[in-house]
Amino acid sequence: MSSVYFPLPVQKASFLHSSIGRKWIVAITGILLIGFITIHLLGNLSIFLGPEVMNAYAARLHKLGPFLWMARLGLLVVAGLHIFYTMVLWRENLCANPQKYAVRKSLETTICARAMRLSGLVIVSFLLFHLAQFTWKWFHPEYKEWVDCLGQHDVYRMVVSAFASPWVTGFYLLSVGLLAMHLSHGIGSLFQTLGLTTQKLRSYLERTAFLIAWVFFLGYASIPVAVFLKFLAH
C-alpha cells in the first residue's frame, strides 16, 4: 500500500534572526542610546549652573546605589547589542555580494555614512577612556579624595581639572564630533528602518537628523571649550 507524502512546512527564520529583525534591534538600541546621551548631556550642562548644582546632581546619582549599577549594566548590554548587530549586518551585506557592496559604498553621498564603523570604533574607545578617567579614576586617583565644602564629591573641580589638558580636550572634541557624524546618519536611518519615512519626507528627515546630531555636538563641546577658554574655573 503506497503512502502519501506530505512535505513538512519550511520553518521560517525567526524575526530576530532575519535581516529585518536585526535592523530593528539596531534601531531600537540606537533609540535607547540616544535617550542616554540626551540625559547625560542635560546632567553635564549643570556645570554652567555652578559647582554646588553639579556636585549635588552627581551626589543624587550616587545615592541610587545598586539602581545606578543596574542602569550602567543595562546600558552596556544595549551598546553591546547595537555594536554586535551593526557588524553582523555589515558582514552579511559584504558576504552577499562583495563587489556590488564595495561599489555601492563608494557611491555614498555623505561622509557620515562612509565613516559609520570608524566613528563607532572611536566613540567606543572614547567611552572607555571617559570611564577610566571620571568613573574609575585610573589616571588621577586623587580625584577620589576631592570634596567640596558640603562634603560631596567635587565633580565640578574634577571636570575642570581634566579639561585643562589640551590633549583631553582635543580627544573629547574629536569624539563628540564623530558622535555627531554617527548620529547624523544613524538617526536618518532609524526612520527608514521603522517605516516612518517616504520619498517625499526623506530629505526633510535627513536635515532634521543632521540638525539634532550637531545640537548634541554643540552641547557636549561647550563644556571642554568653556573650561579650556577659562570661562569655567576652579
Q: What is the pLDDT at residue 170?
A: 93
User: pLDDT for 7-35, tens place per residue?
Assistant: 444 444 576 678 888 889 999 999 999 99
Q: In Å, what is the CA distance from 90 to each residue of 17, 23, 26, 78, 102? A: 15, 11, 12, 18, 11
Average pLDDT on 140-168 reads: 92
Average pLDDT of the chain to the nearest whole number = 84
Residue 98 lies inside a defined structural domain of this protein: yes
Per-residue confidence at 195, pLDDT binned at 50, 70, 90? confident
Residue 11 lies inside a defined structural domain of this protein: no
Which of 144, 169, 166 is closest to 157 using CA atoms?
144
pTM given for the model: 0.83
Residue 190 lies inside a defined structural domain of this protein: yes
Q: What is the pLDDT at residue 103?
A: 46
Q: What is the pLDDT at residue 42?
A: 96
Residue 234 lies inside a defined structural domain of this protein: no
Residue 91 lies inside a defined structural domain of this protein: yes
Residue 93 near residue 101, CB atoms below 8 Å: yes
Q: What is the pLDDT at residue 227?
A: 94
For 88, the domain range is 16-228
Task: Give percent above pLDDT 70 in the chain.
Answer: 85
Residue 175 lies inside a defined structural domain of this protein: yes
Q: What is the pLDDT at residue 90?
A: 80
Which of 169, 125, 126, 162 is closest to 143 using CA atoms?
162
User: pLDDT for 98-140, tens place per residue?
Assistant: 554 444 444 345 676 666 777 788 888 888 888 888 888 888 8
Q: What is the pLDDT at residue 11?
A: 45
Q: What is the pLDDT at residue 197?
A: 76
Q: What is the CATH number of the domain that holds 123?
A: 1.20.1300.10
Grid coordinates given for 72: 550602567
Residue 102 lies inside a defined structural domain of this protein: yes
Residue 39 lies inside a defined structural domain of this protein: yes
User: pLDDT for 81-102, tens place per residue?
Assistant: 998 998 888 888 777 665 544 4
Whole-angstrom Cα distance, residue 74 to residue 67? 10
Provide the domain count of the chain.
1
Grid coordinates given for 177: 564630533
Whole-angstrom Cα distance, residue 203 to residue 200? 7
